[in-house]
Structure 1
Amino acid sequence: MTAVTGGERVPPEFLLGALEPPVKVRHIPLKVPVESFRQRHVGETMRCVMSVATGAVALLLLSGHRACPPSLEDTSAVSNTGGRPPVEQLRVKVLQSLPHDPRASTQGLEMADGRLYESTGGYGESAVTAGPAGKAPTARAQLPALMFGEGITVVGPTLWQLTWRDGIAVERDGRTLAERRRVPYTGEGWGLCHRRRDDRLVMSDGSDRLTFRDPVTFASTGTLTVTEYGHAVPGLNELECAGSHTVYANVYWTDRIVRIDTGTGMVTGSIDAAGLLTRAERRNAGVLNGIAAIPGTDEFLLTGKLWPKMFRVRFVPDSGTRSSGDGL
């Protein structure tokens, strides 16, 4: 069961009112996460709705509350952690707003060597750019029209670029962005980052799994399931490696970023990134999807698909209140 909104396919969970799909205005195809998100969680939601009194569920959904399943709930409400360390609740503190190309459907974002690298998606529109943050790019490389660009990461003089369903990773010169070669892989490509501690790439495919890859051959070297309070976390999208074991991941269709310990697969932090855009700015914007650590600081750049702005932010404890300058 699907609906079509603005020319895109909307997963069934949005028909139930569980989430509010962002407005999309261009012909960029909607990515539907792989089995873990599309089948398991939609199935759980449908079974739950069918098994509970329809009147009560309808009232919950119409009021904006999500009755089930537990893995789609706000885990801050989970009282029994099963002996696991509690997930730190964080929010975004905005330090600066920068201009961002509102035509760019951001799929990957990374800072390296003083330049901001960005990968954009869409058939016939996919490209990778490099240049100063908040300014016009100084280098650009276009993908063939039949390839849909996804996550990127820089490894020394090399830039790796994923494609969505083409099963191809493109190796590029990190300075000129010129293509060097193409390497095949199995499955979908979503997010990508480089874990420097052990020189491995970390890749997402829209499910609850991360795949580790060799930074030279791009061969798979292992997988990891991401969990939060024992529940799998589906929809892992754009990635950013930071620190020795930490990966930050945008969670698709949400304003949430999760901080993952790649040694255990456990979520150690949940970041609320809602409210960055004004109501007017959200009208033509897509989902949050772009996180880049600023080297040498505890700050990050955040943006999203078709967003008119990019934000320099810091992640701070969520006290439930916002002071001036903490959001827009």
Structure 2
Amino acid sequence: MKHKFKVLLAAVLFVCGCNEHKQDSGISISPEAGTTFKSGDNVEIKAHYPSGSKPDSVVYLIDSVKIASKKDSSALSLKTDTMPLGPRVITAKVYQGGKSQDISTNIVLLPAKPPVEYTYKVEKVFPHDTTSYTEGLLFEDGYLYESGGGYLIPPAGQVIDGQSSLRKVDLTTGKVVKKVMLDPKVFGEGISIIGDKIVQLTYLEKIIYVYDKNTFKLLSTAPFNVGVEGWGMCFDGKKLYMDDKTNRIFFLDKNTYRQTGYIDVFDDKGAVNEINELEYIDGKLYANVFTKDEIIVIDPKTGAVLERIDLSNLYPEDKRNPEANVLNGIAYDKATGRIFITGKKWNKLFQVSFMKK
């Protein structure tokens, strides 16, 4: 909440600053701040001048990156089909009489189409260990790999009991065949397999744990200063994806775990927040949304929500085991195309297939 308040305050101050600049200089810019456009729309950007005034030249920037320059006051037509989604700051740097003035506005860019609605079919049901507060789920070499979250010694404000763990699980029986426990003060989150290593995020601790995949021996730890918190993680074979409870998904270098980029997740209505567990499937990002019985499918290049999978009837709350918490956990078997879904402390793991409604 504090983070959101700071962002809102900064936006208010920014808009106020633009308005004051407009009043002082007499120059304004369109479109109006906060105007929403769909990806692919052409946006007409135009600086407006007091009567009798004209610029020597105008340089236009998007998010501080120069995109065009003009020698007159004519409008600039901005193509948006390749632009990242979300808020974009537009600045006109106006040159007059050897001086320059920056006049800014902002737009919000949303996907051109609403997500395609999907549903599911249950192919098989497997047992799942109810002691695992599932935060990360993978399938490789015939086994499930699972990160379970929890604190034995919680920090102030945290009440999730149970020590975090990393597990290797037999799919058919649900039995744990290998397990390592984390520091009682650390909350385990999303995991990824990179070669012969398993990488595990932590929730508030800003630490990445790196294990030997075969022995679960802790090889190293590394700090990460990305995002608000550590939530979900997945790997596309080249880079890591990580989310932090907002609508942002970060790109991380697979060796240094440093940020190399990001996308912001939007559907045709606006930002989709609380992106949680992640899985990379056939060039797309599949994500749980915290507390919702749905999975969204995201374009990893733009952040657009392409599909939404309704899982509200998969395991209704009134049918779940008493310990069960929210839906969370997506695993993909590349060899067979199987997809597995579970939830925090669920007693079942579902093999599913998806189809359009």
Structure 2 equivalent of residue 185 of structure 1:
224
Structure 1 equivalent of residue 285 of structure 2:
247
Cα displacement (A) at 1:88: 1.1
Cα displacement (A) at 1:155: 0.9
Instruction: State the structure with bigger RCO (CA 8 A, min sep 6), 1 or 2.
Output: 1
Cα displacement (A) at 1:131: 3.0
Distance 2:282 2:224 in 1: 27
Distance 2:274 2:341 in 1: 18
Structure 2 equivalent of residue 112 of structure 1:
140
* Residues 1:94 and 1:206: Cα distance change in structure 2 (over 3 Å): same
Structure 2 equivalent of residue 277 of structure 1:
315
| Aligned residues of 2:137 and 2:146 also touching (Cα < 8 A) | yes
Cα displacement (A) at 1:283: 4.1
Structure 1 equivalent of residue 251 of structure 2:
212
Cα displacement (A) at 1:82: 7.5
| Aligned residues of 2:114 and 2:267 also touching (Cα < 8 A) | no
Structure 1 equivalent of residue 328 of structure 2:
289
Distance 1:181 1:316 in 2: 42
Within 5 Å, which residues of 2 pair with 1:305-324? Answer: 305-318=344-357
Distance 1:37 1:258 in 2: 26
* Residues 1:236 and 1:145: Cα distance change in structure 2 (over 3 Å): same
Structure 2 equivalent of residue 133 of structure 1:
171
The TM-score normalised by the length of structure 1 is 0.70
The TM-score normalised by the length of structure 2 is 0.64
Distance 2:6 2:319 in 1: 30
| Aligned residues of 1:163 and 1:190 also touching (Cα < 8 A) | yes
Structure 2 runs not aligned, ≥5 long: 9-108, 153-162
Distance 1:283 1:238 in 2: 22
Structure 2 residue 238 is matched with structure 1 residue 223: no
| Aligned residues of 1:123 and 1:146 also touching (Cα < 8 A) | yes
Secondary structure of the equivalent of 1:109? strand
Cα displacement (A) at 1:243: 1.7
The amino acid that maps onto 2:119 is: R
Distance 2:167 2:137 in 1: 10
Cα displacement (A) at 1:132: 2.1
Equivalent pairs counted in the alignment come to 243
Structure 2 equivalent of residue 322 of structure 1:
none
Secondary structure of the equivalent of 1:138? strand
The amino acid that maps onto 1:193 is: C
Distance 1:264 1:116 in 2: 30
Deviations 1:198-223 (A, max 9, x none): x0000011110001001111111111
Cα displacement (A) at 1:298: 3.5
* Residues 1:123 and 1:298: Cα distance change in structure 2 (over 3 Å): same
| Aligned residues of 1:111 and 1:117 also touching (Cα < 8 A) | yes
Secondary structure of the equivalent of 1:216? coil
Q: Going by fraction, where is helix more abundant, 1 or 2? A: 1
CA RMSD of aligned residues (A): 2.2
Structure 1 equivalent of residue 120 of structure 2:
92
Equivalent of 2:236 in 176, 190, 195 = 195
Distance 1:285 1:34 in 2: 30
Distance 1:193 1:309 in 2: 22
Secondary structure of the equivalent of 2:308? strand
The amino acid that maps onto 1:101 is: D
Secondary structure of the equivalent of 2:320? helix
Structure 1 runs not aligned, ≥5 long: 1-32, 41-80, 319-328
| Aligned residues of 2:110 and 2:270 also touching (Cα < 8 A) | no
Q: Which of the pair has more CA radius of gyration?
A: 2
Structure 2 equivalent of residue 70 of structure 1:
none
Deviations 1:20-45 (A, max 9, x none): xxxxxxxxxxxxx88459998xxxxx
Distance 1:91 1:311 in 2: 14
* Residues 1:95 and 1:34: Cα distance change in structure 2 (over 3 Å): farther
